[in-house]
Structure 1
Amino acid sequence: MEKVKIAGQTKDTGWQFGIRKSVPLNANEVWAFLFSESGARLWLKGTGKEFSTFKDLSHIRTKWKLKGWANEATLQMRVISNKDKTTIAFHVEKLLNGSQREETKTYWDKVIKIIAEKITANR
């Protein structure tokens, strides 16, 4: 009997969630905004103080958790350059269960929407 796949459940590391949003800006502008004081305030809440990976103009990896969680998940943020736009991607892994995945989805849905609004408002 074949196992039913559940959205967000991984084979080895629990649960995960990812979200992407494209904006009509180049990667340099997007990266600069995300690491500016006003941009970082939008997405760095709950993250670790150190990045285990930091590749300028590309991606970061760090620990992340929502308030009230005992465990930490792993957050990856990527900036992906395209011809006339840039995609901002957040991926969270090592979530404990489907409930944490739903909380994560709700949180990052709001965050990425606000980032897209703020980053394009000054255009």
Structure 2
Amino acid sequence: MAKNIGLTKDSGWQFGVRKTLPSNLEHLWHLFFSEKGLKYWSEEVDQNFSTFKEYSHIRTKWKHVGFEENANLQIRFIPSKDKDKTTISIHIDQLKNENQREEARNYWSKIIEILPSLLQTESQ
């Protein structure tokens, strides 16, 4: 029997992506949740976070265009040991099927790839 990548036993389909950015945790956190930062990543995201643990993680709902139901979104901030870098980890679960997983993968992979430009625009 073939294993379906991204299919969980209890949480439907899931997807996760992460990227390490050259910024310390506190600075990246504040930039990420600033008005400018929210424009980079928060489209289609319910900003009434069910969990908001400062300098750690958020949990909320995400509903991609064309989805009939919400998925769970978790974003974690993981500081590096040398404090000069922070990893942002994005995880989505409760996706209905493999097609939704693929759409989530495409959407959030693009978001995570443009995040370095958020740091660049800050200095302009």
Fold-level similarity (TM above 0.5): yes
Determine the C-alpha separation between the residues in 2 that align with 1:96 and 1:122.
37
Match of 1:66 in 2: 64
Determine the C-alpha separation between the residues in 1 that align with 2:122 and 2:71.
32
Match of 1:112 in 2: 112
Match of 1:43 in 2: 41
Letter in 1 for 2:103: E
Determine the C-alpha separation between the residues in 2 that align with 1:49 and 1:109.
20
**SS of residue in 1 equivalent to 2:103:** helix
**SS of residue in 1 equivalent to 2:9:** coil
Q: Which runs of 5+ in 1 are unaligned?
A: none
- Percentage identity across paired residues of the two chains: 46
Q: Is the 8 A contact 1:23 1:120 kept in 2?
A: no
The root-mean-square deviation of aligned C-alpha atoms, in Å, is: 1.3
Q: Name segments (4+ residues, structure 1) moved above 4 Å.
A: none
Q: Which runs of 5+ in 2 are unaligned?
A: none
Q: Normalization by structure 2: what TM-score?
A: 0.91
**SS of residue in 2 equivalent to 1:70:** coil
Deviates more, 1:80-89 or 1:93-102: 80-89
Letter in 2 for 1:41: K
TM-superposed deviation, 1:12 = 1.2
